């Protein structure tokens, strides 16, 4: 790790911490703020404790920080009440919702899309550097991870809303009356990840001379023998010896 890399990560961490402290003051719905920040309380210590053993690239830390900052804003106001349209109107003099023909507060949709768009690359880094995946799998697995975790998060939201109920449950769920809210959130996260993986692939096609060879090798059959009952039988025989 270079000195400039450490400095850059420190600056990002300081900016995120400053925003978190400011927005931790008098949130719109304190109990919902606590629920939303469970993610922060879990992820930030993991990133800090693994920094020396597994430092991400500056690109990955940047997109992680951006997503974290968006999430902190949603936690402060609750996702359904972030006044982004008022901010836009103050800056540009017209309503973003009217421009895009949005009938609801879509900050939650923006963040779900950002989850895929921003976090697919750091996840790809993990797959490449720890699991050692190559070629096709270096793009398919991050996309699959985003899709599956997006689904899991929707189930967590549903469970939390069921357990807590009332205003807290509705604030955390944030469907705003849309029965297809969970489906749209998952679709947007998947679309964001797909765009990032497409962009990464196109960049690598341009920069990586052996891109086609690596892609083909990743799809080559490495073990022609089936690994079902035959493999179980082989392992059983080994155990008996």
**How far, in Å, CA of 212 to CA of 218, rounded?**
10
Q: Are 114 and 192 in contact (CB under 8 A)?
A: yes
DSSP letter, residue 79: G
Report the percentage of the chain scoring pLDDT > 90: 68
E-assigned strand segments in the chain: none
Q: What pLDDT sits at residue 188?
A: 95
The residue segments making up the domain with residue 145 are 3-240
Within 8 A by CB and 6+ apart from 154, the residues are: 182, 185, 186
Q: What pLDDT sits at residue 168?
A: 65
**How far, in Å, CA of 218 to CA of 4, rounded?**
35
Q: What pLDDT sits at residue 223?
A: 83
Q: What pLDDT sits at residue 154?
A: 84
Burial class (CB in 10 A: 0-12, 13-18, 19+), 171: buried
Q: For 35-72, write each residue's pLDDT tens digit.
A: 889 999 999 999 999 999 999 999 999 999 999 999 99
Q: For 74-126, write each residue's pLDDT tens digit.
A: 999 998 899 999 999 999 999 999 999 988 899 999 999 999 999 999 999 99
Q: How many domains are there within the chain?
A: 1
Q: Does residue 176 register a pLDDT over 80? A: no
Question: For residue 120, what are the CA distances in angstroms to 82, 116, 205?
Answer: 25, 6, 18
């Amino acid at each position: 790790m270079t000195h400039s890399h450490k400095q850059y990560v420190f600056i990002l961490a300081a900016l995120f911490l400053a925003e978190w402290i400011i927005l931790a003051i008098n949130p719109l719905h304190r109990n919902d703020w606590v629920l939303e920040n469970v993610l922060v309380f879990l992820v930030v210590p993991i990133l800090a404790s693994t920094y020396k053993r597994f430092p991400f690239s500056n690109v990955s830390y940047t997109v992680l920080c951006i997503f974290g900052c968006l999430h902190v804003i949603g936690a402060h106001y609750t996702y359904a009440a972030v006044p982004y349209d008022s901010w836009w109107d103050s800056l540009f003099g017209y309503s973003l919702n009217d421009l895009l023909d949005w009938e609801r507060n879509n900050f939650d949709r923006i963040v779900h899309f950002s989850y895929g768009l921003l976090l697919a690359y750091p996840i790809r880094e993990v797959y490449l550097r720890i699991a050692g995946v190559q070629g096709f799998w270096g793009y398919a697995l991050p996309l699959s991870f985003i899709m599956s975790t997006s689904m899991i998060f929707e189930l967590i939201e549903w469970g939390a809303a069921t357990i807590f109920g009332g205003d807290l449950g509705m604030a955390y769920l944030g469907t705003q009356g849309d029965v297809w809210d969970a489906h749209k959130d998952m679709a947007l996260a998947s679309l964001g990840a797909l765009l990032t993986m497409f962009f990464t692939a196109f960049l690598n096609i341009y920069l990586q001379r052996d891109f086609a060879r690596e892609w083909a090798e990743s799809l080559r059959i490495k073990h022609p023998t089936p690994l079902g009952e035959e493999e179980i039988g082989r392992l059983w025989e080994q155990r008996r010896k």
